[in-house]
Structure formats: C-alpha cells, structure tokens
Amino acid sequence: MTRSASFPLTLHLSSPEHTTRLAEAMAPLLGAGDVLLLSGRVGAGKSHFSRGLIRWRMRRVNALEDVPSPTFTLVQTYPLPDGELWHADLYRLSDPDEVEELGLAAAFEEAICLVEWPDRLPTPPAHALRLHFETGEGDDARTLTIAGGKPWESRIASALEVTP
C-alpha cells in the first residue's frame, strides 16, 4: 500500500529505532546535490537521524567507520564510492558569513549534505528537503515534519512504503 507524501507531512516516530529505520529508508533515495536541512531543539533527534542515514550508506559499500557528531568540528565528510556525504552542525556559528569558510556552497551542488541548525545559513538551498524534529509524547518519541518541493514528495513516498 502506497502512502501519500503530501507536504508538509507530519510523522510520529515512536522510538530511536523508528527514527533510524526512517533514515535508512531515505538513505538510498539520495544523490549528489541533495540537501537535507534538519532543525529542532537540542536532543530532538537530528544527529540520531543523520547517523542512521550515514551508517546505512557506509555499510552498503563496506566502508564502516565511526560517525561522530560534527558539533565541534562543524563538518564531517565521508568520501564514499558513489559520492561524498557531508554532515554539518552549524550550532556554534555566530555569523552567517562563517558558512562560506566551511565550503558548504560547493558541497550543496556536489555532495549529499545533511545540515543541522540550518537557520545559521545565510540562504538555504531552495531545493532542500526540510526535516523539523520535536520531542513527542513519551521519552523517546519524536514528531517529524517534512517539507520540500514537489520532486521530494514521490521520493519520500517510496521511503514511507518501507517504514512502519
């Protein structure tokens, strides 16, 4: 049964495992130039989702390595055979001009980019998929709101087909 993915779409994720399954279902849908903007308060699930997605892509090509949070390094890059993946955490940036120094503008065109705290970007890419995480009912539950342009709707619908 195909679920509709009309945006904005709100999902209720009952556990960290559910969040990981969604990230793993979305991972194969991404390619060079895809940007995911992950927003939400500290502890809302942005990094957990990102790690699940990154680990799935790494396991697929047998390139296992640690997936640390980029909170202090600002950017972690993962060169994979099918393209580079960037995971950025802009929380510690105090000025939007600092984004230029990170090289994200070029990465938005050439790599898969996961960007936490996208409100720090001077201009977010118009083609990005936006994921907003909030704590849900219960300690581990999360509510995820997904929004993006029309091309994302069918791509996300296929991810929803494989996640409960």
Peptide bond into 79 cis (omega under 30): no
Q: Which of 19, 23, 70 is nearest to 78 (CA)?
A: 70
pTM, two decimals, is: 0.90
Q: Which of 114, 125, 130 is nearest to 48 (CA)?
A: 114
Q: Does domain 9-161 have CATH number 3.20.20.210?
A: no
| DSSP 8-state secondary structure symbol assigned to residue 63 | -
- pLDDT tens track of the chain, all 164 residues? 345 567 899 999 999 999 999 999 999 999 999 999 999 999 898 999 999 999 999 988 877 777 878 877 899 999 888 889 999 999 988 887 888 889 899 999 999 999 999 999 999 999 999 999 999 887 889 999 999 988 898 888 877 775 55
Q: Give residue for tokens 């949070």.
A: 69
56-97 pLDDT, tens digit per residue, is 999 888 777 778 788 778 999 998 888 899 999 999 888 878
